[in-house]
Amino acid sequence: MYNFNALLIENKSELVEFRDDYTTRAFLEHFGIMKHFPANPIPNNRHFLGIVGYAEQVTHYIVGVMFGGFSNPEDNGFVVHCIPKAGYSTNDVQHAIQKSYLRFCASETVSINWIPANGIYH
């Protein structure tokens, strides 16, 4: 298993992503992010997109994304984006999330939860 914190510190100026379900779940559990996703995310068999932002890791903003409600099981699950703090502001991260994901679910259910860190996210 990965030492996720060390991996991020070693790659402090790089974008780090995890896409396979096993690793993303382990990563989200490691940082205590998994518990911030809705327990029952798919109302009325609709597509679901849940986003949790986390800024308490030293070198990266962490954005966990949960997809659900798709008929193909491979389209459901998690993705993690770790965005280096050295190269991006919180506004950059917020804009990237909106650009990448909110248009994806314009007519679907969207849940966004920011974990506060030093008053960065409100």
Q: Which residues contact 91 (CB under 8 A, 6 or more apart)?
A: none
Residue whose pair of structure tokens reads 């502001």 in the numeric block: 89
Mean pLDDT of the chain, nearest integer: 81
What does R_g of the chain's alpha carbons equal in angstroms?
Answer: 14
Q: Taking 80 as the threshold, does the pLDDT of residue 1 lie above it?
A: no
Burial 52-88 (b: 16+ CB within 10 A, else e): bbbbebebbbbbbbbbbbeeeeeebbbbbbbbbbeee
Q: Which residue has the higher pLDDT, 98 or 32?
A: 32
Residue ranges covered by each domain of the chain: 4-39+50-75+83-115
Mean of pLDDT values over 15-30: 94
Over the stretch 53-102, which tens digit does the pLDDT of each residue have? 898 899 999 999 988 888 888 888 999 999 999 988 888 887 777 777 76
φ, ψ of residue 102 to 5 degrees: the values are -65, -35
